Structure 1
């Protein structure tokens, strides 16, 4: 995902697009049913159309402009571990259904994921959080993997009640939504981007969107959603 994203960013910039990293949105100006500008710590930005695509942070920003999005951050854990002997490493993705641990080979590394918990926006982690998934992986592949060099991280998955992403327009005519992809954001990223781009351009979506783009649905205001 990281390699693809960097390559895609290069294509966007080569075609005249501008990408700002390390940029924080500090305010959004809304006038009735229209977004008029975005204020960041690197200046103000004006556009005809805006897309909200901030993962688990989407509902935090949306509340500031009166939109309540049914997205909750679910904390997930993963380990990325070097392979030292390809002959002893997994060749295909493996799922241990009994222990709910997924192992995916990625070139000279494996990615191990397991465990999900409701912890709000806490991204902290400690070695003991990864002990179970490490033990399961070692039982399956005891040799060929450098477990002592494992990289550990925790992330927030933007989950929705029905596990479907939130796409399209809601209460603001020039703010398009592309968020709420849960634990399979990378899996759905390309299709979601295509759908939203087609809708913005006035083209027919490539798939049926029943249940994803409810034409009459209006999300509750933040206070009502909290209640």
Structure 2
């Protein structure tokens, strides 16, 4: 079949790769001039099955209320007249029950574990074709805690993750320092952690661009620098996609992988998709040779930040700001990233100033993405991965390829 993939982020590019390897003729359309220039550009850099607990859980509503009005809060809702945010929030609150949280963790872990397997297989498959080099490190992910109550809650969360197949193990504060010696200067702050040895880290932007090059070599066509104006449907099928230059693009099937922008494109077709943009921030710090910086990827639970070593750079990323399609950098939130980094790593020596960035993560109320077929038999969706876009990308793309080929995917997941 001829298939058009709308979106050139990590989810769109992995989708294009798996569809192409299944024998389809694939075209990728995106408004940006190259792959991975929006949400996939400077994210936290983790392949983190261990980060499967959704934002919607029994502890979040009270925390969100305490954080209201705090510009540096890990989770910031900006109160305003936005009916889509209100509708999304009501659905989010329904997902905060213990039973819904447990089921959503199961779904996320199932997909994330499968996706991590797919990523490893992809690396092996491409090793003879030039491979993929994206500052990847297979040293696991260490969650660290500075609050005894939060650590106690995490022990319970780790038990649920292990039940579903993710080997996230609680460790002592001393063990945290043994795993990552760069934490030694913050030993007085640590109360414990948990460690997932099979998780990974790396540069999602490099990964996506290199995979896009492999896509080109196997025949995937890229039509970049063109916004998608609309999807035209007639007679019970999607007939074409129209881009901003007025061209009409025709295919046998269409995949929407536009992240937070997917709902607006689908709305004229009568399709309502509860995906809302959550703005995440990152700082990329270039390190001197004398820096004492982590090489194991870390998650700081108190501040909802992750730290990933990317060669001679340290990527610090996280938080979520619900402020619509706003790409403005908030100086207070940027400063909070650096302040916390220096608290944990006081011996960090930087070369130059940090590079700040923000991107809009496509978040569903449950944190479970939408993968499958929409209203029309030739219209497919792959979006809503939230903070785990790169973690779930390969598995989502492989499963979608199976669905389009009318094969049964290898995972138990609520496909549409």
Q: 2:355 aligns with which of 137, 145, 151?
A: 151
Distance 1:118 1:126 in 2: 13
Please name the residue that 1:30 is paired with.
Answer: 233
Measured against aligned partners, the alpha-carbon deviations of 1:156-205 in whole angstroms (never above 9, x if no partner) come to 11111111010101211100110111111011011000000111111110
Aligned pairs (5 A) from 1:56-75: 56-75=260-279
Please name the residue that 2:397 is paired with.
Answer: 193
Distance 2:257 2:289 in 1: 39
Aligned pairs (5 A) from 1:20-99: 20-42=223-245, 43-85=247-289, 88-99=292-303
Contact 1:24 1:40 (C-alpha < 8 Å) held by counterparts: yes
Helix, strand or coil: the match of 2:295? coil
Distance 2:364 2:278 in 1: 10
1:108 is displaced (CA, Å) by 1.1
Unaligned runs of 5+ in 1: 215-227
Q: 2:321 aligns with which of 117, 133, 138?
A: 117
1:118 is displaced (CA, Å) by 1.0
Measured against aligned partners, the alpha-carbon deviations of 1:41-88 in whole angstroms (never above 9, x if no partner) come to 342211001001000101111112221001111111111111113661
Q: Indicate yes or no: 2:390 matched with 1:213.
A: no
Unaligned runs of 5+ in 2: 1-203
| Structure 1 stretches of at least 4 aligned residues deviating more than 6 Å after TM superposition | none
Contact 2:316 2:337 (C-alpha < 8 Å) held by counterparts: yes
Distance 1:101 1:10 in 2: 31
Distance 2:302 2:274 in 1: 30
Residues paired across the two proteins, number: 212
Please name the residue that 1:217 is paired with.
Answer: none
Q: Indicate yes or no: 2:205 matched with 1:2.
A: yes
What is the TM-score when the length of structure 2 is the normalising length? 0.49
1:147 to 1:134, Cα distance in 2 relative to 1, 3 A: farther
Aligned pairs (5 A) from 1:106-185: 106-146=310-350, 148-185=352-389
Please name the residue that 1:203 is paired with.
Answer: 407
Contact 1:81 1:150 (C-alpha < 8 Å) held by counterparts: yes
Q: Higher strand fraction: Structure 1 or Structure 2? A: 1
Contact 1:77 1:152 (C-alpha < 8 Å) held by counterparts: yes
Q: 1:15 aligns with which of 218, 227, 248?
A: 218
Q: Higher helix fraction: Structure 1 or Structure 2? A: 2
Distance 2:211 2:257 in 1: 16
1:109 to 1:124, Cα distance in 2 relative to 1, 3 A: same
1:147 to 1:103, Cα distance in 2 relative to 1, 3 A: farther
Measured against aligned partners, the alpha-carbon deviations of 1:96-123 in whole angstroms (never above 9, x if no partner) come to 2223222111111111113211101111
Contact 1:56 1:158 (C-alpha < 8 Å) held by counterparts: yes
Helix, strand or coil: the match of 2:360? strand
1:124 to 1:87, Cα distance in 2 relative to 1, 3 A: closer
Helix, strand or coil: the match of 1:102? strand
Measured against aligned partners, the alpha-carbon deviations of 1:10-67 in whole angstroms (never above 9, x if no partner) come to 2221122201222211121111421100111342211001001000101111112221
What is the TM-score when the length of structure 1 is the normalising length? 0.88
